[in-house]
Chain A
């Protein structure tokens, strides 16, 4: 008769690997899985929308160039952070982020609410030569952003991939109508996968989200700088906290 003993595990490497992985992940599972079933983990709040195609490409550059190595996008509920950066970040605000940019290791300041804090021009100058604006900065120069044309040939694939993991970019008429209801017609237009290239060109020309277009200061071409600045300018600006009581989000924790 087969008897399951310690010996069985030790003599069966495959089984041991599976059981080890299970044992290691118990802590994580206990902490993470219940969150999926607790209402209010992602706070109900108005205004949060998926990124426009241009902002999404800017986000990709942000990740590609490693901005997250020094900058977090998570304002914690502490007084010093609130005074410096603004309202603490909500889980809802990163619901369309894949991957999210949370973190607690900051060499540079947190960027969760940097949107609209500075002008496009400031962002451009600061990215080209940070020390020309902030003498004590240790941020590297990113001058190539201004001269590298933005490659948006694969934007539709990127949007489709994000749609597969739950970001409501619209591929059908029904999805578009749903977005009109949820985000309003202006945003819904931006979320159409079929119009992605057109919308990138449009946004660089006209701006979006109350931020003027031509982000990089050169109206004649679309550069990585355009995309990155468009992304930086939307960070943390989607929720209008003035519309809520300052303890509105206490109830969800």
Chain B
């Protein structure tokens, strides 16, 4: 339960830990970027400007060999010339192979990562926590069956199961209108956000088992507490005991797990996008896959920069998770961060 003591611990840990401060700063920064992407992004992230393709980031210039065909004295000749490509201040992080602005794509990519991370985690918790609490509270056959299902679920690696399910179900996406653009505040930006709904469902379904395990463990130890026994003696039914007494006291480790899971699901989403198993093309993992084909020809930034965005987001969330764990319950182990 969120008591005054918990708040005090959180504050104390925060004051003493530079890492917690960095983590909070990163997470707030990314949340802000994702929420206000239409105002922050300098360009429409999907707009292609082929005459501006493959521009390097500011501070770097790239020499590249261009082969052109020219008519020389009535004959077609191929001419290879070395040209220097200089960056353009309009595209501070450069452009990709289709002339799309990297900075804008990275800013918009934050939306996909965070929305999938948070929705996927909520879905996993929504499935896993009730199942885990119920099994741990009742023990016996229900618990045995649940634990065997959990074992089977764990036997399939998240990524493999996710790839298999998306391969079978397809890559559905829904368009959600962007309120800022609809209201006319950022008219030149994409009108809707593409939510890869299959990815959300699949990452939720492959990660529920971590929530079930933690919730079960908590319920197992809470069921024999005096106040739970007292409610039972007073005639409260199981559902209300679980809801009113077990869940509130099990919530701390669940929150800590949820934080780590957001990070794990962001990594999973980027892996799925990288492999082409997503419903959107505006994602950090997708851009890394695109940029991969250009690393041997010198355009290192297309694959590198979105990866840094993933890394800093996940570092921020992990630091936040460490802070919550250290201040809420020093006894919780760092299990369940599987990507």
Q: Do A and B truly interact?
A: no
